[in-house]
């Protein structure tokens, strides 16, 4: 199932194609493919080239996958259980100069975007999540205090919406929407639409 973005202007095909399904086939993703996704994430831009992203990578059936799944809120556990790959993105809060990195979350977000675009190019589906317990993830993986769990991502081959429970199937089939650009881009002062 495809749900391309309904854009007013031309954008890159990978961006137009990418969306966040919840229905995943249990078919394994090759480790070499996941390495390419992580390589794409590695080349994301970051402030002062700090590269504050770290990743816990779980393949279904291994201990890391199970811990990531166990850290999710129940809502996400219900649909993410088929995803063959789960990744926890972690941010280093401290710069290489020992000071607080005020943009580490932004930079980790960029790395996740790069990973997502590479996954889309590879024909894989992704779904990013904030619905998880940072406390559980920190405990499960012994994450140091100067690092913070930020987001999860499920990766795999997309399955048909009918493979989900009826409530999730309805969400899967609902149209994609975005706020109009004039509500997001301003000039002159905040809230004044870009001409």
Q: Which sequence spans correspond to the domains of the chain?
A: 13-163
Which residue has 């590479």 as its token pair? 118
At residue 1, the pLDDT reads 86
At residue 165, the pLDDT reads 93
* Rounded distance between C-alpha atoms, residue 100 and residue 48, angstroms: 13
Cβ pair 155, 29 in contact under 8 A = yes
Q: How far is CA 118 from CA 25, 33, 37, 151, 175, in A?
A: 19, 10, 6, 18, 24
At residue 142, the pLDDT reads 98
Residues of the chain with confidence (pLDDT) below 50: none
At residue 52, the pLDDT reads 98
For the structural domain made of 13-163, what CATH number should be given? 3.40.109.10
* Pairing state between β 147-156 and 85-92: antiparallel
């Amino acid at each position: 199932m495809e749900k391309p973005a309904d854009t007013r202007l031309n954008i890159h095909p990978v961006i137009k194609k990418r969306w966040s399904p919840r229905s995943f086939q249990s078919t394994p993703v090759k480790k070499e493919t996941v390495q390419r996704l992580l390589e794409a994430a590695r080349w994301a831009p970051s402030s002062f080239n700090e590269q504050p992203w770290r990743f816990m990578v779980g393949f279904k059936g291994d201990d890391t996958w199970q811990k990531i799944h166990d850290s999710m809120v129940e809502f996400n556990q219900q649909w993410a259980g088929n995803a063959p790959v789960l990744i926890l993105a972690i941010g280093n809060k401290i710069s290489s100069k020992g000071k607080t990195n005020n943009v580490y979350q932004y930079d980790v977000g960029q790395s996740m975007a790069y990973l997502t675009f590479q996954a889309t190019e590879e024909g894989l589906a992704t779904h990013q999540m904030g619905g998880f317990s940072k406390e559980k993830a920190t405990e499960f993986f012994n994450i140091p205090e100067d690092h913070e769990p930020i987001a999860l991502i499920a990766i795999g081959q997309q399955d048909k919406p009918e493979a989900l429970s009826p409530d999730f199937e309805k969400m899967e089939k609902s149209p994609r929407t975005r706020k109009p650009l004039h509500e997001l881009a301003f000039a002159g002062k905040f809230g004044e639409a870009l001409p």
